[in-house]
């Protein structure tokens, strides 16, 4: 990947643009917290060619939600499970909305 390719992907929420140190700094947490949520399988950072963890903006949003729950006193394992369930619910609601739109456009008289 060239530098131009990397620059163009910075708008991609799934592009692993952040080092562990930078991710921890952005979240206001420690690298140990990021390792812990990785061990709990909440997020799986990609690895650079040198083996260093790299995080995407999407992963940082997930980690931020887990941190909110932990800061409120939720144990880290439970916080990770809650975030996973919230993410699954959001995805299911998105899919249901797509199906409703498709059904309504396929049969516009049924919606009336």
Is the pLDDT assigned to residue 14 strictly greater than 70? Answer: yes
Is the pLDDT assigned to residue 80 strictly greater than 50? Answer: yes
pLDDT tens per residue, range 29-46:
999 999 999 999 999 999
Cβ 89 vs Cβ 81: under 8 Å: no
Report if pTM > 0.85: no
Q: Which two tokens stand for residue 67?
A: 């941190």
CA angle 55, 11, 27 (to 5 degrees): 40
Q: Which two tokens stand for residue 94?
A: 């998105």
- Nearest in space to 104 (alpha carbons), one of 25, 66, 112, 61: 112
For 13-111, the fitting CATH number among 1.10.1660.10, 3.40.50.720, 1.10.10.10, 3.40.1710.10 is 1.10.1660.10
pLDDT at residue 2 in the model: 47
């Amino acid at each position: 990947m060239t530098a131009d390719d990397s620059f163009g992907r910075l708008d991609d929420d799934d592009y692993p643009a952040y080092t562990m140190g930078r991710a921890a700094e952005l979240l206001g947490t420690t690298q140990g917290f990021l390792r812990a949520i990785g061990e709990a399988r909440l997020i799986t950072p990609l690895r650079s060619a040198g083996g260093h963890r790299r995080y995407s903006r999407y992963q940082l949003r997930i980690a931020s939600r887990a941190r909110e729950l932990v800061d409120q006193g939720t144990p880290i394992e439970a916080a990770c499970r809650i975030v996973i369930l919230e993410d699954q619910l959001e995805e299911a609601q998105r899919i249901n909305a797509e199906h409703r739109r498709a059904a309504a456009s396929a049969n516009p008289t049924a919606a009336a």
